[in-house]
Structure 1
Amino acid sequence: MDTNSAIAALSALSQSTRLDIFRLLVRHEPDGLPAGDVARHLDMPQNTISAHLATLARAGLLTSQRHSRLIVYRACLSRLHDLMLFLVRDCCAGSPELCTPLIATLSSCCPSPESCS
């Protein structure tokens, strides 16, 4: 992940509704949720949710797939994985061993995150 991609992802997540949507979709992996279900879970109008879903998708944090008349959204766990590693990979200048446990935990929780396209 490069700096611009990280900024786009962090910017998308820096709004409370979008963060709530992303966390909800992470909890519903691997099946995802249709936009209407996301709106119901968060008790918000569907058109508001759709705008937030589009922002998260543009940042590469969500994928969508049409199933008949429904569009099902899924969290892109590989993008989250890459973002987290980007944030900690170069940490602790001069003492990288301080971040080793965190990097190991991130690597083991998602050993081969599925790719998002």
Structure 2
Amino acid sequence: MEAKQAVAALSALAHEHRLAAYRLLVEAGPEGLPAGLIAERLGAPPSTLTFHLQQLLHAGLVTQRRVSRQLLYAMAPAPMNALLAYLTENCCGGGAACRPACEPAAAAVRSRSAPAA
């Protein structure tokens, strides 16, 4: 992940309604939720929620698919994993103090930089 992508993702999450919507989608899992149900659970007007979901979609943090007449939104795990790996890539300078917390990100960095077999 490049710095520009990290800034876009963090900017998209830097709003109370977008963060709440993203967390709700994380909880829902890969099946996602219809936009109307997200609006209902968050107590947000549908037009406002649509704006916020579009910001998350533009940042690549969620996906959108149409099923019949409904738009379903789901979290996109790869971009969030990439963001977490980017943020913790040099965690504690590789020191032992935070190694357990940073190991998932370190493993992601190693797999990206490993030569193809």
Give distance in 2, aligned partners of 1:28 and 1:43. Answer: 17
- TM-score normalised to structure 2 length: 0.84
**Deviation sequence 1:36-94 (CA, Å, 0-9, x none):** 0100000111000000000000000000111011110000111111111110011223x
Larger radius of gyration: 2
Give distance in 2, aligned partners of 1:85 and 1:106. Answer: 4
Aligned CA-pair RMSD: 1.7
* Structure 1: runs of 5 or more not aligned: 109-117
Aligned length: 107
Alignment match, 1:70? 70
Alignment match, 2:36? 36
Q: Choose between structure 1 and 2: higher helix proportion.
A: 2
Pairing 1:5-16 to 2, within 5 Å after superposition: 5-16=5-16
User: Displacement of 1:99 after TM fit?
Assistant: 3.5
Alignment match, 2:51? 51
- TM-score normalised to structure 1 length: 0.84
Alignment match, 1:82? 82
SS in 1 for 2:5: helix
